[in-house]
Amino acid sequence: MSRRNKRKQVFTNVEVVDAGAKGKTIARAADGKVIFLPNAVPGDIVDVQTFKKRKAYYEGKATIFHKLSDKRVEPACEHFGTCGGCKWQDMGYEHQLFYKEKEVTNNLTRIGHIELPEVTPILGAKEQYFYRNKMEFSFSDSRWLTLEEVQSDEDLGDRNALGFHIPGMWDKILDIKKCHLQADPSNAIRNAVKDFAVENGLEFFNTRNQTGLLRTMMIRTSSTGDIMVMIQFFKEIKEQRELLLDFLSETFPQITSLQYVINGKANDTIYDQDVICYKGQDHIFEEMEGLKFKINAKSFYQTNSEQAYELYKLTRECADLTGDELVYDLYTGTGTIAQFVAKKAKKVVGVESVPDAITAAKENAQLNGIDNVSFFVGDMKNVFNQEFINTHGQPDVIITDPPRDGMHKDVVQQILNVAPKRVVYVSCNSATQARDLALMNDMYKVTKTQAVDMFPQTHHVENIVVLELR
């Protein structure tokens, strides 16, 4: 049943029946429309307050829980529900995997209209917490206050924060005491930096006013034991900068790369900034099957090292190489997949639009003594053309791992023109993957699909699809 409240509606005793895109769960209103909820688990029976009405659906929030789902678990993190990072922490991991696989299958069949082979079960992660090798935290002089704090008469004390953006609010930062995503000493470093900065009067950033000293902190860890910490300052105050960096170096001697950026522009992206090495190396190393990958502050590397290894092994397996093939690796990034499959191929050609990534790819290939890979930089739809094929050869296999937006339609068309015997399509967004597969469906048959969970406690999932010429 439902009752109207001005323009909003309340639906009572609604069963949450499914999980949908972007981590929302799904209920159905009395009028038959779908309701998307951010704070419920499939199996819950709830009252819902809607706050947005569209032609085909509502967006709302569960306000009263009449029955809790048996799929629920107790969230591990004290920040769950306020922090937007791990929205599925209250759902058992086996159920997270079920809904991730279901979403991938639904996207491929409903969006792509693809006839699927028997779906290979999703590969879950051994580590469901503390799996990330990179975390970025923001400083703020006016931390996010909970409703209880706002309504309280007590002195709120220190308003500084070092943590994460509140979802949808670019200037609100939640102060984090313990994050369950990155292994020690990540939490110890973050908490020590915050305490030291407060004690020594170092000003935390104010995004609205563009004032303060401390902007962001990045921590990268690796399976080799390397640790990188990079502090981003809004302006140069040498004495205060050195005070903080020396404290970090002395308190955490295990940091192998201590770096900083002075960034006075309006946004805190570092890709157009000079990163300065203060102590140690200007990079860390990740290792995989004896291959070493040099990672600097700006490098892209899969943020779950352990599952990245599983993803790359499956990708290589799906490519089904005998040693005689010419392989193209599109959207190669820093060339990780290209180097990972190189020992099974005659030659691998990697293409990527980010110049720094290609520089790193070449450097890593040299470091690893791999001489049957070549890397080229440029916008994929412009570089990957017939002239490129004429120069570098007709590929037997194409591996493609595009960004979330998927492949440009010209790139899809060029793959169809080239018509390799096999395409291995790795995707972090099965909806855009399905769209691209639909364009290839007349020429290629999907012979395998396998999801890989890189991000436990979130709705995100990677998917590998193998395409064979019909």
The Cα 45–Cα 26 span in angstroms is 12
Query: Which two three-digit tokens encode residue 168?
Result: 């949808």
* One-letter-per-residue 3-state SS of the chain: CEEEECCEEEEEEEEEEEECHHHCEEEECCCCCEEEECCCCCCCEEEEEEEEECCCEEEEEEEEEEECCCCECCCCCCCECCECCCCCCCECHHHHHHHHHHHHHHHHHHHCCCCCCCCEEEECCCCCCCCCCEEEEEEECCCCCCHHHHHCCCCCCCCCEEEEECCCCCCCEEECCCCCCCCCCHHHHHHHHHHHHHHCCCCECECCCCECCEEEEEEEECCCCCEEEEEEECCCCHHHHHHHHHHHHHHCCCCCEEEEEECCCCCCCCCCCCCEEEEECCCEEEEECCEEEEECCCCCCCCCHHHHHHHHHHHHHHHCCCCCCEEEEECCCCCHHHHHHHCCCCEEEEEECCHHHHHHHHHHHHHCCCCCEEEEECCHHHHCCHHHHHHHCCCCEEEECCCCCCCCHHHHHHHHHHCCCEEEEEECCHHHHHHHHHHHCCCEEEEEEEEECCCCCCCCCEEEEEEEEC
What are the backbone angles phi and psi of residue 77, rounded to the nearest 5°?
-100, 135
**Is 428 a residue of the active site?**
yes
Choosing from 83, 86, 318, 428, which is the catalytic residue? 428
Q: Are strands 45-53 and 57-67 parallel, antiparallel or unpaired?
A: antiparallel
Distance from the Cα of residue 53 to its chain's centroid: 30
**Which runs of E-coded beta strand occur in 82-188?**
120-123, 134-140, 161-165, 173-175
Count of CA atoms in the C-beta half-sphere (13 A) of 384: 29
d(CA 453, CA 100): 8
Smallest CA-to-CA distance from 163 within 250, 273, 275, 82 is with 82
* Number of other residues whose CB lies within 10 A of the CB of residue 465: 28
Catalogue the active-site residues: 428
